[in-house]
Structure 1
Amino acid sequence: MSASESTQLKACRPCSKAKVRCDPGPSVACQRCHRLGKDCIKQAPRFHKLKHNNMSYVDVGRLERKLDNVTSLLTASRRYAEGINSHANVASPAREVVWVSEPSDQETEDMLKAFHQSMALFFPFLVRSPSLTAHDLRTQKPLLRLVIPVIFYKNVSSQQAHAVKSREYWMEQLLVKGEHGLDLFQGLLMFIGWTQLTLPMPRVTLVNNYLHLLEAQVNNLDFRGDSKSGMTGSVFSYLKDFGLDERLRDSRTLEELRAYLGCFYLVTMVSLCLDEKDPMRYTDYTEECCRAVEAAAEFESDKHLIQLVRIAQMAAKIHRTLNRHEIDVPNGSASTAMIIRLLQKDMQQLRDSLTCEFPQSAIVFLHYHTLELMIYRTAMTKLLHDHPIPQIDVLCACVEATKSFFDTFFTIPSHLYLQLPYTIWVQLGHGLAILSRILIHSDPRGNWDREYARQRLNFDATADTFGLKVEEAISQAAAEDIEMPPIFTQIKNRVVMWKEGHAARCATLDRWNQDQPQAIAPGMDELIPDVDVDDMLMTGSIWNFFSL
């Protein structure tokens, strides 16, 4: 090939899409395509000239309508978000904090007993020692003693007062004084674990800050993995050289190990469902803690604990694998499809290991279906768009996983709603977001039929069913003279807004799809602005509505 010919030719299509240099190879394929085994599709210079100098082949009117639809979609999303925020402000006026006296030892004892008989069923990382008394709480675990009334007081004003007290206490101890200890670690773990019951209800950014604080306690309390203990010149490296690090690890009590594993589970599941931060890393030390708790088998609930940690471990693996943090594979949709198949095998092994009694079984399998959604939502991104058969298979799997998720959630009796930890509610929010996206998702190349999803799933019916379940919970609480937290009393109005928001997005995208060409001519796809509507649906209030 002459120098004049090489300067006239345009980069091949794979290199052009990857925005990398396209150098001639040893064969017809360029060097990069030859090395990666890709089809080296050449592009004639006329496409380059058309793209920059000639718009005669482009329907300018269609592009203008496409831009109008983008504006309409963004406007609808913004109005939807403003509507929820304004409604939340009206429906949740600031309550005057009513200071109440601390509960008596007998009241504390009753609440502590109730916690371990009901709520600890779903969050087995805080197990009461048989010898722990209300007096012990006052002298040894002051933060836990403050947090328990936040969860169990029947009066919302009293709940708010204790929430303020406990929040001020741990903020002063952690941020002002720089203290650390098992009580602060466990208390913060419980506070975040049922943060939906605290007033005012924290927004996503605040929850994210809580998670960072909780994770910081792992370092302050010297819970560490191999990476930290092996740093050259660190105190831990010297301990390791003299064989003292294992002695320090062996001194950990099972109570401490459960709290550490609870931190891993909570931070990982909330982070991935809110899509705000990376999960905690599962280290060799985390595995050691799991084996120690499993081998001791001190409490029956430890079996449930191990299963929740294994689920969180799988969630972290899914996140890092699909985001290419832990593997080195060639770019391309085929590799993504292969990764999904490998993850499916791991998921089947995990499912075979899940065994527990109801109602914990419903909670465990709800987590499992959340893992499926984390994998299959990939089909609604660009990773599989150029490979229609795997994309359709994964989209169908996403539909079925979404249906299974809500079928499982609705098996949970409504009277348990007050006992469920925050990790369950963020999974429900994540599930509703995926439900909305899969029902709206469309493929401009016509490879996906939305009617299949709409025959299997219904956003309005799902939201209405959830609203009815919450109404049942409110009625049951009223019969027991329990005042429901605002997060539940506002659900009825929020259901209406969720349905209206979903309908507005459906209408906007229907107009969008009507303006799309029936088929994209070869070479014309690069002349169409690279706007992925589904990417826009990942953001907005519907994703994080439980934190409004």
Structure 2
Amino acid sequence: MSGGMPFVVLSPSLTAHEMFSTKPALLRAITTVAMFHDLPRQQTQVRELIRDLSDRIMMKGEKSIDVLQAIIVFVTWAHPHMFWSQQVTNLLHLATAITIDTSLDRNLQPACFNVTPRTHSMEENRILLGLFYLSSTLSSSFRKIDATPFTRHMEICLNNLEHNRECDSDIFLVQTVRLQRVIESIHTTNPSSAPAKIYRKAFQADLARLRQSDPYMEDSTFLRLHYLSAEIQMWELSLNEVVEDTGKPLSSVDLYSLVSAIKAFLDVFFSIPTSAYLLAPFAVFGQFAHAFIALTKLASLDVDGWDLATLNHEVNFLEVIEETARRFDETVRSFVDGIAVDNDAFGKWAQRVRYMKGVYESKFGDDQEQGQGTQPNEKLPRTPDNTGHPTPPDDILNVDFFSSLDADFWSAVDFTTDLGFPATDASLVQ
């Protein structure tokens, strides 16, 4: 699991007994996220962890490295499909407040002119950059919070990690954060201030520079998905222009570049073994969710000059839904290191994406058939066949979902849907 987590580094010689004495909160966070194979027990541990962190921070005023690292580990694997709740954003905000109170977010100044200030450790640099990365990933993937602003001090932290290279993973961290900075710039771009193509050239240059200096890109699935996610967000700027103002001219080249980026992303995502889905950090699923919604916008787009048949030839929306559901179902039956999995979270999401397929077919079925080459006289009205599917949840997978793909789309998306698991909200943290 640690492959996608360069922000907390532990010595290979560190024992659980030593961690219990020196980093008890971090140890509890690690054991909690590692209990993915037994979801009922994991849910209990989640409540206990949140209760412990709340007591340490709010009641005892603890502002330790241990607490900050525990929050980073917990949020990294706090998947929306497992135990997403508002506590995740609460913990991120509390961690950010701790960095402010302890001056981790700025250069340390001497108390008097004759005293040399203490410099931040590499461990502290990783924590600060990890909080930026997590908040920015949540912001760019789900639009649920605003990212922690990237500061000049954070750039100094990046340079220190790159120069000192205490750990092999530090270079991976540097590339990950710099790439996320580009994504943050893309998704906060205001296309009304200038045409999307003006910004796109600058973002393409940024991505090209990062690729040239990246020693891990070809070997790391995480980074390959990360780069492709950046490309999706970059090309999506043109799509958003059309969605927000149907009177604007359609840039076919940009939209087909977006289709190519989505296809490349899905090819990599679907190459991941389904058993590894339980080990992957939430950023992977955040990027997948964003790619999926971009594809949904394309499959629902109704403007002159847009060819649904070409989209279906490259990336068939309904086939993507079915493959996603199939792989999620397979994850429920998987074994990880020989351990049987008692975690049906992915199975519940498989049900939901199949329900989405029925909704899409009922709303756009005729267009879909036409895009696949069906003759006009063969088109018939259809209603979704929800046999065997759950009752439509009161969340993103309702009939209004496909009517919400406009400038306010993200405000209509609710990722706090009840998946039938024990709650982790404040009412249980007592």
Shift in Å, 1:336: 3.1
Distance 1:292 1:384, change over 3 A: farther
Q: Which amino acid aligns with 2:117?
A: R
1:305 is matched with which residue: 157, 164, 173? Answer: 173
The corresponding residue for 1:220 is: 101
Matched to 2:407, the amino acid is D
Does 1:414 find its partner at 2:282? no
Aligned ranges 1:384-533 → 2 under 5 Å: 387-388=248-249, 391-443=251-303, 446-477=304-335, 480-506=338-364
- Which residue among 350, 361, 369 is the counterpart of 2:220? 361
Give the CA deviation at 1:413: 2.1
Q: Which secondary structure does the structure 1 equivalent of 2:79 belong to?
A: helix
Deviations 1:342-368 (A, max 9, x none): 22222222233333277x622101111
Matched, 1:144 2:2: no
Alignment of 1:87-486 (within 5 A): 119-153=1-35, 154-196=37-79, 201-203=83-85, 205-225=86-106, 239=110, 242=113, 247-248=117-118, 250=119, 252-320=120-188, 322-323=189-190, 335-356=195-216, 361-382=220-241, 387-388=248-249, 391-443=251-303, 446-477=304-335, 480-486=338-344
User: Do 1:194 and 1:421's aligned partners in 2 also have CA atoms closer than 8 Å?
Assistant: yes
Contact preservation (8 Å) 2:69, 2:127: yes
Are 2:378 and 1:534 aligned? no
Determine the C-alpha separation between the residues in 1 that align with 2:112 and 2:256: 54
Asked if the contact 1:188/1:214 (under 8 Å) is kept, the reply is: yes
CA–CA distance in 2 between the matches of 1:339 and 1:503?
A: 35
Give the percent of matched residue pairs that are identical in Structure 1 and Structure 2: 24
Question: Per-residue CA shift, 1:248-303, capped at 9, x if unaligned?
Answer: 3x2x2222222222111111112210111222222221111112112222222222
Q: Aligned partners of 2:361 and 2:92: how far apart in 1?
A: 34
Aligned residues between the structures: 382
Structure 2 CA distance for partners of 1:477 and 1:491, relative to 1, 3 Å:
farther
SS of 2:407's equivalent in the other structure is helix
What is the rounded CA distance, in whole Å, between the counterparts of 2:162 and 2:279 in structure 1? 25
What is the SS of the residue equivalent to 2:61?
A: coil
Residue by residue, what CA displacement relative to the aligned partner does 1:51-90 show, whole Å, maximum 9, x if unpaired?
Answer: xxxxxxxxxxxxxxxxxxxxxxxxxxxxxxxxxxxxxxxx
Distance of aligned partners of 1:465 and 1:347 in 2 relative to their CA distance in 1, 3 Å threshold: same
Instruction: Indicate if the aligned counterparts of 2:38 and 2:341 stay in contact, CA closer than 8 A.
Output: yes
The 1:343/1:197 distance shift into structure 2, 3 A limit, reads closer
Higher Rg: 1
Are the equivalent residues in 2 in contact too, given 1:268–1:279 (CA < 8 A)? yes
In structure 2, do the counterparts of structure 1 residues 454 and 210 end up closer, same or farther at CA, with 3 Å as the change threshold?
Answer: farther
121-130 or 145-154, larger mean C-alpha shift:
145-154
Q: Distance in 2 between matches of 1:403 and 1:218?
A: 39
Aligned-partner residue type, residue 126 of structure 1: V
Shift of 1:170: 0.3
Structure 1, residues 168-227: CA drift from partner, whole Å, max 9, x if none? Answer: 00011122333211000000111111112996x224x443333322322321331224xx
Q: In structure 2, the residue corresponding to 1:367 is in which secondary structure?
A: helix
**Secondary structure, counterpart of 1:441 in structure 2:** coil
Distance (whole Å) between structure 1 residues aligned to residue 295 and residue 114 of structure 2:
52
Residues 174, 180 of structure 1: 8 Å contact kept: yes
Tell me the TM-score normalised to structure 2 length: 0.79
Stretches of structure 1 lacking an aligned partner (at least 5 in a row): 1-118, 230-235, 325-330, 511-530
The Cα RMSD (Å) is 3.1
Aligned residues of 1:380 and 1:441 also touching (Cα < 8 A): no
**Structure 2 residue matching 1:534: 3-state secondary structure:** coil
Look up the equivalent residue of 2:236 and give its one-letter code. R
Question: Does the CA contact (< 8 Å) of 1:414 and 1:473 recur in 2?
Answer: yes
8 A contact 1:315–1:371 mirrored in 2: yes
Asked if the contact 1:439/1:457 (under 8 Å) is kept, the reply is: no
Gaps of 5+ in 2: 369-402, 420-430
Do the aligned partners of 1:380 and 1:534 also contact (CA within 8 Å) in 2? no
TM value normalised by structure 1: 0.63
Q: CA deviation at 1:131?
A: 4.0
1:101-159 CA deviation, whole Å, 9 max, x = no partner?
A: xxxxxxxxxxxxxxxxxx11111212212342222211111111211221223433332
The C-alpha deviation readout for 1:221-246, integer Å capped at 9, x for no partner, is: 31224xxx7xxxxxx7x7498486x7
Contact 1:202 1:547 in 2 (8 A): no
Q: Does the Cα contact within 8 Å between 1:124 and 1:302 map onto a contact in 2?
A: yes
Q: 1:240 to 1:257 in 2, by over 3 A?
A: same
